[in-house]
Amino acid sequence: MTQKVTIHDVAQQAQVSVGSVSRALNNYPHVSEELRSRVMAAALELDYQPAFLANGLRRGQTNSVGFLVGTIANPVISTIFEAASEALSDHGYAVTLLSSRNQAQLDVACLRLLARRQVSGLIVSSAAESPEPARRYVGELGIPTVMLDREATSDELVYAVQSDHESSMRQALAHLISRGHREIAFIGGPEDFYPTRQRCLAYQAALLDADLPQRPELIRFTSFNERAAYAEALLLLQSGTQPSALIVAGNIILAGALMALQDLGLVVGRDIALVACDDINLTRLYRPPITAIRRDLKLLGVTAARLLLRGMQVELNEIERIIKLPTELVLRESTQYARALPHKAPAARKEGAIRTTLN
């Protein structure tokens, strides 16, 4: 009923052959103006829309890209996805989103599924604990792929967009150190998860630069799971060396850490300084507002989409295969007080307004 009108109907309506209809509608050269307009009129009248499947079968291509994530229920991922999806959509590509549920074996299964569906391109931002098999499989696939804030591979057709986690992390540590903190703890995701590793390396490098001791017991890795992060934070905060500052890498981990702090009766900004590694509603609106490392998520998504588009169309004239985008440290009250200073009253209202400003 809905999709009954085929190219044959249009051909009959316009009194031409199906081949001519196809040529006319696809803007081929050597089609007379008269025939073209006749076909256009017929197509318009019948509300003809070429069948996607037949088109794709013949052309060997689907005009759709697969997007693989560990979970979409994460404000950072979903914001990036939305931006990328809109950019791709503007170029006629539809996006099928697959979630690997943060499981490595599903990772590869999802990629297989997408390959079977003959997606024209892939964006991969999965967060499996052992990403290696998936990365290797992506290389074998021969499909243009953008690794999104993940480690690049040397395979042809595999591109990468990354955030510059290092520089802002070093800024964050410089900031904390300047405020007198020396026991600065770090809680990240899995140790081999790319952003976590980058942040952790920068954290260690910054300590080294400041001639501060590396304390292994202050570095904790956990999985992307609020309960696990909560437990790890609790362990850290109840261990012998009580840190005076805490850096949490990732918003799920932030949630767990905040719960641990609250359960221990530690007040953020007074008893302990807190830096978060992504700027989300929670960091802006929390009382006190939480210092965070911000990146332009929409830019990240759009850049991934553009890189993929370039990779999918053949006109790729000497394009960068790996792009690294800047990040920014946003100072807020959670790191405002210097160490060992007594708790002061919150800042005046006006200042508060500025700090919690939109964006």
Q: How far is the CB of 49 from DNA (least distance, A)?
A: 7
Return the one option of DNA, its own copies, none that residue 40 interacts with (CB less than 5 to 8 A, by type).
none
Return the one option of DNA, its own copies, none that residue 35 interacts with (CB less than 5 to 8 A, by type).
DNA
- Gyration radius of the chain over CA positions: 26
Q: How far is the CB of 189 from DNA (least distance, A)?
A: 39
Angle separating helix axes 33-46 and 18-25, nearest 10 degrees:
90
> Of the listed pieces 12-20, 222-230, 273-281, 350-358, which binds DNA according to CB under 7 A?
12-20
For DNA, the closer of residues 5 and 259 by Cβ is 5
In this structure, what are the phi and psi dihedrals at residue 191, rounded to the nearest 5 degrees? -65, -30
For DNA, the closer of residues 63 and 167 by Cβ is 63
**Residue with the two structure tokens 């553009």:** 306
Can residue 64 be called a binding residue for DNA (CB under 7 A)? no
Can residue 86 be called a binding residue for its own copies (CB under 8 A)? yes
95 neighbors 89 (Cβ within 8 angstroms): yes
Can residue 55 be called a binding residue for DNA (CB under 7 A)? yes
Q: Give CA angle at 90 (88, 96), nearest 5°.
A: 40
For DNA, the closer of residues 28 and 238 by Cβ is 28
For its own copies, the closer of residues 174 and 282 by Cβ is 282
Q: How far is the CB of 211 from its own copies (least distance, A)?
A: 36
**Does residue 272 sit in helix, strand or coil?**
strand
For DNA, the closer of residues 60 and 92 by Cβ is 60
User: How is 54-95 classified by DSSP, letter by letter?
Assistant: HHHHHHT--SEEEEEES-S-SHHHHHHHHHHHHHHHHTT-EE
Q: How many CB atoms lie within 10 A of CB 170?
A: 17
CA 283 to chain centre: 18
Cα–Cα dist 27/29, whole Å: 6
Q: How far is the CB of 99 from its own copies (least distance, A)?
A: 6
For DNA, the closer of residues 101 and 117 by Cβ is 117
Among 41, 54, 201, 285, binds DNA (CB under 7 A): 54
In this structure, what are the phi and psi dihedrals at residue 281, rounded to the nearest 5 degrees? -50, -45
For its own copies, the closer of residues 180 and 352 by Cβ is 352
H/E element, 284: helix 281-285
Q: Interface residues for its own copies in 171-230 (CB under 8 A)?
A: 226-227, 230
Can residue 352 be called a binding residue for its own copies (CB under 8 A)? yes
150 neighbors 125 (Cβ within 8 angstroms): yes
> Of the listed pieces 48-56, 66-74, 88-96, 274-282, which binds DNA according to CB under 7 A?
48-56
The residues with which 161 forms a beta bridge, in sequence order, are 148, 323
Q: Interface residues for its own copies in 95-124 (CB under 8 A)?
A: 95-99, 101, 112-118
**Residue with the two structure tokens 């490098």:** 205
Can residue 142 be called a binding residue for DNA (CB under 7 A)? no
Q: How far is the CB of 353 from its own copies (least distance, A)?
A: 5
**Does residue 238 sit in helix, strand or coil?**
helix
* DSSP secondary structure code for residue 159 in this structure: E
Q: How many CB atoms lie within 10 A of CB 225?
A: 15
Q: Which phi-psi region, left, alpha or beta, contains residue 118 (left: φ > 0; alpha: ψ -120 to 50)?
A: left
Positions in the binding site for DNA (CB under 7 A): 6-8, 15-23, 25-26, 29-32, 34-35, 48, 50-51, 54-55, 57-60
- Residues of this chain that interact with its own copies (CB under 8 A) are 1-3, 49-54, 56-57, 62, 64, 71-75, 78-79, 81-82, 85-86, 89, 94-99, 101, 112-118, 140-143, 226-227, 230, 255, 258-259, 262-263, 265, 281-282, 285-287, 349, 352-353, 356, 358
